[in-house]
Amino acid sequence: MNKSTLSKQLVRLSEQDNVAVACVALPASTTVSAFGVVTTASIPVGHKVALAPIVRGDAIRKYGQIIGFASSDILAGEHVHVHNVTLHDFDRDYAVGQDVKPTQYVEKPATFQGYKRPNGKVGTRNYLGILTTVNCSATVARQVAAQVERSGMLANYPNIDGVVALTHGTGCGMADSGEGFALLQRTIWGYAQHPNFAGILILGLGCEANQIRYLVDAYNLEDTVDCRVLNIQDTGGTAKTVEKCCEYLADMMVFANEHQRETVPASELILALQCGGSDGYSGMTANPSLGVAADILVRHGGTAVLSETPEVYGAEHLLTRRAVSEKVADKLIKRIRWWEDYTARNDGKMDNNPSPGNKAGGLTTILEKSLGAVAKGGSTNLVDVYQYGEPIRERGFVFMDSPGYDPASVTGQVASGATMICFTTGRGSVSGFKPVPCIKVATNNTMYNRLKDDMDVNCGEIIDGDQTVEQCGQEIFELILRVASGEPTKSEAQGFGDCEFVPWQIGAVM
């Protein structure tokens, strides 16, 4: 945080800004001498106050960028929020490649203790997974996982982190071809080959649209000790299926337990960047700190994955400027245009975001939210753009298309190959995403202290001036290496991760 823009009451993020953010709740008639304003009404913590008169129709600027336009005349010292800010289109300069610069790689990359897999990938955890093709096999999958836990089978296999059943609500009542079907299959396959699974069992009912044989044919699945497929109808019903699955898993455990952690370079890490339950501090503390950590990882040869396309909407020009080619920029812009069409044909609008909780935390428009969210992506070159669940092949900073809904977005990132997750939150999001560990990063002291059992890192001290964005970013990076090496996160300790597998559903339910 630039000290010259910070008082104990307000912080201005750019010299171009005509608003500042309240560091504490400010009663009406509070004099903020550092900025020469007197509040005309109470300003909640994390909310914005006008630093000078703003005429109706003029741009509201934060981060040095336009976040909206005044819907009425605004006085200096007035609360700036949904009651006096509106949104409309304006020209943005995509300036493709303008901010591209050579990546300064470190001479001696960091390392972590990971699991090398036979296919050359490296995992950060060692799970066995049960994947379902359809909701109709979900209960049986959970019964299998529960039976394994009750039996104590894992007691003899200390190198296995557990057996997790990942179920979902689709797989039938859908077209067996097209965009939605391909997306679901790509997601399931991404999990099936994920390096955090030492073995997987794919379980179907038998008559669903999303047939196991389609997966087998499309992705050349082979029936081996670490990959088994079966249908409930063919196996003889629930009880026989549970018994057969437990037999398969018992064989997998012997194989999975042989995997040992060994020293590998940080370049093998793929880090998913997420934010949820955002507030007015997200783009000022936790998100830019995570951006610093992402930059450090990229300089060590690793990969950082930004997603949530509706939450970069309006800030995509900051990413196209970092795109290494017109082709990469065009891929991102095409996803933005797809979302505009997708929301329009479903009677929605891209500016329906932020959520009520985001607004209560001080975020006014999707532009403000997006500008803060993009900060998670740091400052290195954008080297590629991927569709949801598409395998990530390039190392460096990349983008994967997804909804802004956190569970669906993370599910896609994991399907694409993410082996670590960093999740920033200002309101207090609690979740986990097996088989991948998730680090929670708090934006403010109040929430961090209230939810200490769920938060791994506190970036709230940046507002107090006790930490810098760079210091917090380094702290996050060092924690990423420790967690990748086996240190449990708060969400893992709380037992999260079994219910957050949410493949993105596109298309008609029939």
Provide the pLDDT for residue 251. Answer: 96
394 burial via Cβ count (<10 Å: 0-12, 13-18, 19+): middle
* pLDDT of 4 above 60: no
Query: What is the layout of strands, in order, in the sheet containing 197-204?
Result: 162-166, 127-132, 197-204, 227-231
Pairing mode, if any, of strands 65-70 and 37-38?
Answer: unpaired
Maximum distance among all Cα pairs of the chain, rounded to whole angstroms: 77
Query: Model confidence over 353-397: pLDDT tens digits?
Result: 688 888 999 999 999 999 999 999 999 999 999 999 999 999 999
Return the closest-CA partner of residue 221 out of 243, 199, 236, 248. 199
- What is the average per-residue pLDDT within 148-158? 95
List % helix, strand, coil for the chain (3-state, nearest 5). Answer: 35, 20, 45
- The span from the CA of 17 to the CA of 69, in Å, is 13
Query: Model confidence over 46-90: pLDDT tens digits?
Result: 999 999 999 999 999 999 999 999 999 999 999 999 999 999 888
Instruction: Kindly indicate the confidence band of residue 510, based on its pLDDT and cuts at 50, 70 and 90.
Output: confident
* pLDDT of 432 above 50: yes
| CA 510, chain centre distance (Å) | 30
- The span from the CA of 257 to the CA of 161, in Å, is 10
Report yes or no: 399 and 465 within 8 Å, Cβ to Cβ: no
Report yes or no: 448 and 424 within 8 Å, Cβ to Cβ: no
Provide the pLDDT for residue 357. Answer: 86
Q: What is the DSSP string of 334-392?
A: HHHHHHHHHHHHTT--GGGPSPHHHHHTT--SHHHHHHHHHGGG-SS-EEEEE-TTPPP
pTM across the whole model = 0.95
Determine which of 201-205, 310-314, 483-487 has the lowest per-residue pLDDT on average: 310-314
Interior angle at CA 429, CA 384 and CA 13, nearest 5: 65
- The span from the CA of 82 to the CA of 56, in Å, is 14
3-state secondary structure of 295: helix
